[in-house]
Every structure is written in C-alpha cells, then in structure tokens.
Amino acid sequence: MSSEIVVVPHTHWDREWYEPFQRFRLRLVALLDEVLDRMEREPHYHFTLDGQLACVDDYLEVRPENRDRIAALVKEGRLAIGPWQILLDEFLCSGENIVRNLELGMSRADKLGGAMPVGYLPDMFGHTAQMPQILKRAGVLHACVYRGVPSTVVTDAFAWVAPDGTAIRTQYLPEGGYGNGAHLFESPDQLAERAEVFVAKMRRWRGPEGALLAMYGTDHSAPVAGLPGMVAELGARMDTLSGYLAAFSTETEGLPQVEGELRSHARANILPGVISVRAHVKQAMGRAERMVERYAEPLAALWGGEWPGRFLDMAWWRLIDASGHDSVTGCGVDETAQQVAARIAEAEHLGQAVRDMVTSSLAARVPSGGVLVVNPSPFARRGVVTLDLAGIDPVVDATGARVPVQTLEYAPELLLDAEMDPAVALSFVHGTELYGQHISGWSVDEGVLTFTVAREPSVAFDKAEIPLAGVTHVRILAEPRRTVAALVDVPALGHTSVRPIPGGTSGASDLGVRAEGRVLDNGLLRVEVADDGTLTLRSQDGVTVTGAGRIVDGGDVGDTYNYAPPADDRLVDTPVETVVTPVWSGMLVAALDVRRTYRWPYTETELFTGPAHARVTQPVAENPGRGQDAVDVVVDTRVELRAGEPFVRLHVEFDNRCSDHRVRLHVPADAAESHAEGQFAVVTRGLTSEGGCGETPLPTFPASSWVAAGGVAALVEHVTEYELTGGELALTLLRSVGYLSRNGNGLRPEPAGPQIPTPAAQSHGLRSVRLALMPYAGEREGVQEAAEIFRHDLLAVAGTGSGDLPAPARGLSVSGATMTSLRRREDWLELRMVAHGDTEAVVEGTFAEARRADLRGRPDESLETAGGVLRLPMRAWEIVTVQLR
C-alpha cells in the first residue's frame, strides 16, 4: 500500500509575515544550508523550493558561493525552483504584475537550470479567473492549488477553465493542503500506521489507481534527518512536485471542470479581510503599478531615447516583491507593512523618474510659458487637464485655435512685505533665485526695495547694482499666475501642447458644466446633494440613483485576515450636521464640498490622539463590544463634475481617530449580481459566497478598477473591497483592526496566525480616498472606457524650450481591445491586450512588421500588417501579446 505514495519534501517559505523579511532570511539561509548539504550527501533526496525564485535570490545574496551547487541540483532534477519570482496575492496586484512575476521567475530559473513547469499556487487566498490562460501562455501546463476550490470538486485533479476557454490540468491539494504529508514521518515507529491512514484519506480523492501525492513540509519547515531512509522503509518514493506531475497528461478531457475564479470557502479559509486592511498600502500599490505600467513604460517605449531597462527592471522587481501573499495583503506585523510600503514607494519613484526623463525631453520642444500635455490612453482623448500658467491671457493650441479654460485659482502675488535689513534680504538670493523663483526685476523707491520674481529666469542680476542706502523695507512680488482647467484634445498615447497668448479673454461659456445651489450638471450627468449629504445621480439616458454616497461606520473586532462585527454592534450612518459649500461653478469643472459630521463610537483605551508610539489598544477579548462614548468625526467629500465625463468624481477624506471599526460608502444598487474588473477579466458574482470550511463566508469581493451592479458603477483607483448587501453596493473605505490574528475571531474559529498586536493596522490619522460613480444603462455601456479615463489623468508638463508650439503627435492607438502593457523588447515594441468580447482589435502606428509572442516575450507567428495597421481577430477574454517594429 505504501508504494503508492510519492513524497515531495518542501518548505513553504513566507518571505515576510509575523517577522520582517531580514529576520526570516536568517532562518532561510540556515535551512538551505542544511538542504544543500543533505542533498549532496544523499543522492536520492529531492526538494521543492516553494515555487518562488525569491528563496534562491535571498539565499544567494548571503551565500553567493553556493550558486553552482544549486544549479547542479536543479539540472539533476532533484531541486525544483520557480516558476514564480514570488508567491503572490493574485487579487491585490494588477494582471500585468502577475505576468511580470512569472516572466521574471522563469527567466531567472532558466539561468540555474530551468523552472519547475508547474503553476504552484499553494497558499494564495483564492485565485483569479485568468490564471489558467496566464500559465498556459507562459508555457506552464500544470497548476497546483489549495485554497478557493469549490465543493463541486471531489477529486484531486480538475480542469480549471479561464474566461476565454483555456483549460489547464490542476492538481488539488486536499486533506491539509501543502502540508498534507507533514505528519507522515513524525514517529518513525508508526510509519506503516500513518501511511495506511494517509492512503485511506487520499484514495477518496485520487480513486483506486495512481500514485498519491504527499506534500512533506509546512511553513518555514526544514526536512527531518534520515528522510530518504524512512521513505525507502515505507516503500514509497521521493520526488519533486514537477516529477510527480510529469506522470500525468496535460490534457484536461474527462476531468471535472471548474470555470473562472476560485474564491470558495468550502475547502479552506480564503481570509477575505486582507483585501481591505491597511488600505493605504493597497492605494500605494495601485498608484505605483499605474505609474510604471501606464506612464513610464509606454512613454519610454514610444517617445524615449535609449531604453531605460535597468530602471524599469528595478521598479518591477519591487512591485513583484511587494505582491507577496503576506506582503501587500497587510496581514503581517507592522514592521513588515512598513517595508512593503517602502518597496512600493521606491517602485513609484523609479516610474516617476523614467516618466519625467521622457516628458522633460518632449517639454524641451515646447516654448517656455507653454505646456506639454500627454495622453496615457491608447485612444484619442478630449479631456480636462489642470495647467499652471503665467498671466491671464487666453490659451491656444499649435494650430492657433482657442482652448477653453476655466480659472480655478490665482497664485498669491505678494510673497514678502516686511521691515528688513536689505543685506539680509540679499542673502536670500542665490544667483537669480529668490523664494524658489527667479528675479525678473527690481526697484528702490522711498526706502522700499521691491523684487519681482517669475518661474523662469529672464534677466541677469547683480547684487552690487542695488543701492542699499536708506532701504528699510523689502517687498517680493511674483508674476501673476493662475491654475486653470483646460479642455484639450490629445492623440492616442501621444502629446500636444498649448500656450497663453496676449490679447482677448478666455472663456468656455458653451460647454454646459454648471453648479446651481446644490446641483451640478454637465449635460451627461446631473448630481444633486441632499440634506444628509448623499447624492442623486441622473444620467443623460434617464438612469437615476438616489441616496448615493451614504457613509456607514460599524464595529470590527476581527483582525487583518477577517472582518468580525462586535456582539453589540452599533451602525452610524446619519450625520449630526451637513454643510455644503460651492467650490467651482463651471464652465469646465463644477464642484461642491460636502462636510458631514458624525458621532462615531469609541472607548477611552482606543481613542487616538497622538503619534503611533502613543497608541493604546484594547486588551484581547473574545468579542469586545463597541464603546458607549462617541467622538465627532468630520467626513469631507469633494463632489466634482467635469466636461465630457459621464461620472461624478468623489474625494472622501476624514481623520480616523477611532479603533476597531469599518467605514463603508454605500450606493443604491438593487441587483442580484455584481460585475467587477480585475486581472484581465470581468467577474460576475452573486449575493452569497460558498462556505463549509470554518470561516463565515462573507460575500465581500475585490474590484481592481471598477465594480458595477444595478445600473451604477463605482470606478476605483486601487483594489477595493465591496459587497452587495441590502439593495446597496458597499465599498470599504477603511478597516481598522489591532491584531495580526485574533484567537477568538467571531467569524473564524481557527487562528490564521499568531496573536500579535498590530497597532499601525488601526490606520489612525488622515484617510483619503478617490473614486467615481457612474449610472449606466444596458450591459455596463461605457464603464470600461470611463474607468480608463478616471484612473489615468492627462499629464501636464511645463515647456522649457523656445519657438513655436510643436504639432500634436500620435503614438499608438488600440481599438476593439483593452491595452494592458506597452514596452520595448530589444528593437520591438511589445503590446499586450485583452478582449472584452469577440472582437477585431485594430492597432495603428508607425510599424511595418508584427508578430505574436507568448507571455514571456518569445516570438511566435508573423502577422499581416498594412500601412501601419494591424487587424487581429480576438475571442472574448483572450490575452494577446504582439510585437511591432
């Protein structure tokens, strides 16, 4: 009986979690030292290194002399590494991040002898719908999963089918997941008995034939001494995971099918609270991914000079590292969260540096005083962009046509007006720079020394020329400047420029955006603010949503993994005061500020009034209640409507002074299902979630860029938790908790980790969220394009050159499909797209050749082009990579 068992020794290495990265790395080095020594001494020893190259990289940074030892074992087929760079959380990063993770892991593994050809996903908190297609398009023909598998699966293998129809043979890890064989060898004198129990359990899943997979390992575990001997005594054999799966066909015919995402709670906890905890980390991740994916790479690919590959590689490496399933999730200790946030910030900074390098080169062709405007979208846009301009003159484009503008704010002109020793004032001058601007002139009159300053240097300046005798007063005046909203036409992934010219006046009287009292209207959408601060939205085609934007605060005595309401929860959704203040009245932008004051419950031990080190959390209790006292919390919401946009922008901000609570924004949505975008797919979900394992199966789900239900869509800047409940769409703005895991979580009987305080996860201090609401008719018409516009602002850069405005220039346009990536690969442009339905994608640019490629960038068939146009039929939800030159 025991000969039917294949033992796969491994470790599951959480790179950072309840200890920060470097502390865990010390243990990793000791473990791999032992593994390498043991494998070299015992030629039958095999080991699977958790499917992620990060383990190898982290080890070799400390032990670089052991690289050849690792490579030799990989080439022998006894040590399995990769294919991932890091074991990610699939829902808390972009689809492109998933692809780059796999690409990086496989390419690095190739240098050490080759990646394990298995999409090993052992501990992710559920799985995205497109993972089968991603794996297959990278050349990986097997998947292996644990969490999220539905109760319909009653075998240890199934066909996992992506939305486009791609199916992959998937090994399920029942009866203990990646540690289902961890207890086989605990007692050498009980090997036979333990094997008999193991075989009996696993035969229920495998059936009467075939070898049984025993995953021998668990979190941060090292192999037991004498393992090959015990395996031999048992009559079993030892192998890697890829060695075990090599015995199975990659064909999926005859296997039970599971379609789409895997987010069932039936077989294992999927710990959905990680979607909303430490929301600032999710915000930063979304912002950094957009900066690298949609600004830095495409702009450098189309408009840059030498490809800044090393900078972009460093940015991606940090984004991939941050995507770890105990990293961006926020379910580690506070020190871990701090390191993750720092990594994400560095990725964004690298992306900004590349973006600015390219745009500064383009801006050098735009005369000083003008502004370069860049479009990050693969289609032409006519949109509102904010410009900082000198003077009050009208604005024109390169053709001389008047650009509609609306003044939003005038900059202060009087920077200093004080009695002062003029020598002191002159000590402020550095070359021509004074107060961050450049001296454009000076005068002395009746004891007053007056400087005029401007953003750009225009005259030479010599301190010695200024007569200081009798001067007792100094004044600094800045040139008149204003911030304006301008309505600008910009080509696809291209750029244009505008500038003010003397004469005439600016205006935008024909654009129809206006604010009257508590009503905003732009012809496409009408927004009215009610007495309680909620909104009534009415679209051009008559879709009406009443009561949108209701803020609901409730208790949360869960932890970083799972929300849990207190036994005596008190929901607060009615403000004690609402004040509405006009901001802009049109004609391009209209806005109102809505200030709502709430009384949120707290207890004296939880109220935050000082810095992080002064925070005090409640003692651990099984199910603590909400405090009976209350504190005033002001929630400010900027409600903004722009010309040409069918959605209203909301900027919600409040100072979180309370602990152990959840704040959600509710929007009426009477629907039985929701539709949410994320990771190359739009997923349809119902009002319930399948349970069965232990945790309460709350129907809270992630949305990456938008979620739609019942005729209204919420457009979001980062992965956001939502729930359809009580006829409303509830979006989580904040989940404030104080423990990594609570032993007594009311909605999860079993701890998800150690009970360690995480005071920073209370997220005290300022919380700021940007989103948009859009009523729609039919099958979510226009929502995808609206999300693209909302999430990717036009970019304005001050001109630094001379001469006339350059002509507008188009980069690359894509229609019929959604662009997800554009970069350089050697002398080719590499474009990735996903189709939202059966379609013909049309790509237009300045290229003469085209070819398909897989997700690793390896070229495939040539494609026919004509006149810089590629027409490519695509099936619904197909991910296609093409290379152009």
User: What integer is the mean pLDDT of 506-511?
Assistant: 57
Backbone angles phi, psi at 377, to 5 degrees: -95, 150
Identify the CA nearest to 225 among candidates 48, 26, 37, 72. 37
Alpha-carbon radius of gyration of the chain: 30
Q: With a cut of 90, say whether residue 628 has pLDDT above it.
A: no
Q: With a cut of 90, say whether residue 511 has pLDDT above it.
A: no
Contacts of 2 (CB under 8 A, 6+ apart): 191, 192, 195, 199, 234, 235, 236
Question: How sure is the predictor about 311, in pLDDT bands with cuts at 50, 70 and 90?
Answer: very high
Helix-helix angle 54-62:67-75, to 10 degrees: 150
Backbone angles phi, psi at 698, to 5 degrees: -65, 140
Q: With a cut of 50, say whether residue 728 has pLDDT above it.
A: yes
550: β partners: 666
- 94 by Cβ neighbours in 10 Å (0-12 / 13-18 / 19+) ranks as buried
Q: How far is CA 133 from CA 119, 130, 166, in A?
A: 11, 5, 5
Sign of CA dihedral 47, 51, 53, 58: negative
Identify the CA nearest to 51 among candidates 138, 135, 114, 120. 120
d(CA 323, CA 272): 16
pLDDT for res 608 = 52
In the numeric block, the tokens 């004074």 are attached to 434
Prediction pTM value: 0.95
Q: Alpha helices, DSSP H only, in 697-776? A: none
d(CA 453, CA 718): 40
Backbone angles phi, psi at 386, to 5 degrees: -90, 130
Q: With a cut of 80, say whether residue 506 has pLDDT above it.
A: no
- Give residue-wise pLDDT tens across range 353-381: 999 999 999 999 999 999 999 999 999 99
Backbone angles phi, psi at 681, to 5 degrees: -150, 160
pLDDT for res 505 = 56
In the numeric block, the tokens 């959480």 are attached to 14
Give the DSSP H or E segment for 15: none
Q: Coil, strand or helix: which one is 873?
A: strand
Q: What percent of the chain has pLDDT over 70?
A: 96
Contacts of 72 (CB under 8 A, 6+ apart): 113
CB 373 within 8 A of CB 362: no
Per-residue tokens: 400 = 């001389």
- Give residue-wise pLDDT tens across range 784-828: 999 999 999 999 999 999 999 999 999 999 999 999 999 999 999
Instruction: Render the burial of 570-596: b for 16+ CB within 10 Å, e for the rest.
Output: bebeebeebebeeebebbbbbbbbbeb
- When mean pLDDT is compared across 265-269, 588-592, 616-620, the lowest value belongs to 616-620
- Give residue-wise pLDDT tens across range 635-650: 999 999 999 999 999 9
Question: How sure is the predictor about 614, in pLDDT bands with cuts at 50, 70 and 90?
Answer: very low
- What is the total residue count of the chain? 885
Q: With a cut of 50, say whether residue 680 has pLDDT above it.
A: yes
Sign of CA dihedral 172, 174, 177, 183: negative
- What residue type is assigned to position 231 of the chain? V
Instruction: Render the burial of 820-836: b for 16+ CB within 10 Å, e for the rest.
Output: bbbbbbeebbbbbbbbb
d(CA 800, CA 45): 65
What's the whole-number average pLDDT of the chain? 94
CB 203 within 8 A of CB 212: yes
End-to-end CA distance of the chain: 60
Q: With a cut of 70, say whether residue 507 has pLDDT above it.
A: no
pLDDT for res 605 = 53
CB 435 within 8 A of CB 442: no
Complete DSSP assignment for 56-69:
HHHHHHH-GGGHHH
Identify the CA nearest to 156 among candidates 234, 208, 79. 208
Report the Cα 784 to chain-centroid distance in Å: 17
Give the DSSP H or E segment for 233: helix 227-234
Question: How sure is the predictor about 618, in pLDDT bands with cuts at 50, 70 and 90?
Answer: very low
Backbone angles phi, psi at 73, to 5 degrees: -70, -35
- 542 by Cβ neighbours in 10 Å (0-12 / 13-18 / 19+) ranks as exposed
User: What integer is the mean pLDDT of 516-521?
Assistant: 97
Q: With a cut of 70, say whether residue 61 has pLDDT above it.
A: yes
Report the Cα 576 to chain-centroid distance in Å: 35
d(CA 169, CA 157): 7
d(CA 487, CA 383): 5
d(CA 54, CA 88): 11
**Phi-psi domain of 145 (left: phi exceeds 0; alpha: psi -120 through 50; beta: other):** beta
User: What integer is the mean pLDDT of 753-766?
Assistant: 97
Per-residue tokens: 457 = 């240097």
Question: How sure is the predictor about 186, in pLDDT bands with cuts at 50, 70 and 90?
Answer: confident
Q: How far is CA 297 from CA 217, 307, 345, 356, 824, in A?
A: 40, 9, 17, 12, 8
pLDDT for res 554 = 97
Q: With a cut of 70, say whether residue 849 has pLDDT above it.
A: yes
